[in-house]
Amino acid sequence: MRIGLVGYGRMGRIIRSIAESRGHSVSVIIDPAAVEADFPTLTPESLVDTDGIIEFSLPGPNGEWVAKNVQVYAETGARVVLGTTGWDEHRDLILAPLAHTTGAFLYGSNFSLGANMLFRLTAQAAKMIETIDSYDIMVHEYHHSQKKDSPSGTAFTLGTEILKNNRRKKVIVGDSLRNRPIRPEELHVSSTRGGHIPGIHTVTLDSEADSLNISHTARSREGFALGAVLGLEWVAQKNGVFTTDDFFSTLFAH
């Protein structure tokens, strides 16, 4: 495929390397700052020489930049993998233009194969302790100091999986509890920022008797890049809007 890259920071460069190692070519780079960029911003004209797009960029205030790009994707019928996070609160509004797209759009908070295994293990664990009141469950993540969103999109996805599979938890608390104890129905999703950590996500099941941790540690960004390229290969012959859950459910089934 001729792949267009929207966002050419560290992830964009690794995606290019992975894509080329799998026989694809990068035909267009779209980035407002990169010296290698062919276009500073996404326009219909910038997508002419592409078969598919992989975007890892910044969401903008209230997801404004993602929303503008999605509008272009909808208008052009592009096939897109979107790995940008930090816009989920406005998801329905941002994705609305894709309702009748002739292209395909695959999005998610994390394209790492290992992290998506973690999502499935977390769902199962949350279900297992649903009727065992002695166990509580919580999420914590670490990321490098330059990450923009906190907690991460992946952490919130883990929280959502817990809420879907454990009726004792009703709401995610993603910030400081500010001098109050957590309520039994609240799920604490917390974060730490510093250093150069690509990403560590841990789900803890804790009781007075023992504690169990389910953890995913990203050693590098290559795992995320490979998942994104595999995702574009998967979506290349499809139409509609898909989540990483759709993609990885098919991948893991094999």
User: Annotated catalytic sites, by residue?
Assistant: 143, 147
| Residues whose CB is less than 8 angstroms from the CB of residue 105 and which lie 6 or more positions away in sequence, other chains included | 70, 73, 79, 80, 82, 95, 98, 235, 240, 241, 242
Find the helix or strand (DSSP H, E) in which 243 lies: strand 240-243
* Cross-strand pairs, 193: 143
* Cross-strand pairs, 53: 4, 80
| Residues whose CB is less than 8 angstroms from the CB of residue 163 and which lie 6 or more positions away in sequence, other chains included | 169, 170, 171, 172, 187
- 216: helix, strand or coil: strand
